[in-house]
């Protein structure tokens, strides 16, 4: 059984994951507009991944005897100054997600809620990967700038396909 406080915190994270999804979907639209189809595709895969994250919270809250409650989602920005600015935004956003997941893990320890702690372990590891992936792209973008290298990177990013993990 989830405490009221834990249920609210898990619901807040579920809705934040949906907000994350909206940011990436908005980025996908932005990159389609500016003619970087590969980056748009990468962002679409990231959107799907964020919705997968949200659904893990949704299922867990209901399975653990709580009630997954959807909330209003703030509109994300719809354009970015450059490809680098968008990925820097993504990195900053992912660092914020990591802090939120860590705060949830702190709450699970505080409440001695071992089941929630186990559920969150996957997300703790996932955030290391998220920050590493986005941080790596930020690094490459700083190297290539806006020249021809950007089109090679667009090609590389366009090969990404989201495949849901078999176990979460």
Instruction: Kindly list the residues in this chain that would bind ligand FEO in the complex (CB under 6 A).
Output: 17, 20, 50, 53, 94, 97, 130
Measured CA to CA, the distance from residue 30 to residue 25 in angstroms comes to: 9
* 43 in Cβ contact with 28 (< 8 Å): yes
25 dihedral zone (left: phi>0; alpha: psi -120 to 50; beta)? alpha
Residue 12 or 144: the one with the smaller Cβ distance to ligand FEO is 12
Residue 56 or 150: the one with the smaller Cβ distance to ligand FEO is 56
Taking the complex as a whole, how short is the minimal distance between the CB of residue 35 and ligand FEO, in angstroms?
25
* Crossing angle of helices 83-110 and 4-34, rounded to 10°: 170
Taking the complex as a whole, how short is the minimal distance between the CB of residue 94 and ligand FEO, in angstroms?
5
Residue closest to ligand FEO when measured from CB atoms:
53
Residue 97 or 150: the one with the smaller Cβ distance to ligand FEO is 97
């Amino acid at each position: 059984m989830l405490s009221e406080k834990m249920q609210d915190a898990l619901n807040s994270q579920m809705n934040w994951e949906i907000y994350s999804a909206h940011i990436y979907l908005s980025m996908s639209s932005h990159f389609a507009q500016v003619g970087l189809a590969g980056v748009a595709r990468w962002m679409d895969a990231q959107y799907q991944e964020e919705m997968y994250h949200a659904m893990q919270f949704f299922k867990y809250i209901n399975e653990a005897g709580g009630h997954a409650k959807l909330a209003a989602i703030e509109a994300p920005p719809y354009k970015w100054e450059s490809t680098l600015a968008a990925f820097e935004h993504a990195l900053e956003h992912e660092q914020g997600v990591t802090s939120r997941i860590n705060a949830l893990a702190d709450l699970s320890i505080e409440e001695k809620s071992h089941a929630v702690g186990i559920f969150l372990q996957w997300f703790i590891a996932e955030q290391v990967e998220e920050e590493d992936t986005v941080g790596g792209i930020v690094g490459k973008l700083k190297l290539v700038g806006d020249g021809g290298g950007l089109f090679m990177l667009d090609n590389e990013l366009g090969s990404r396909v989201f495949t849901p993990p078999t176990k979460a």
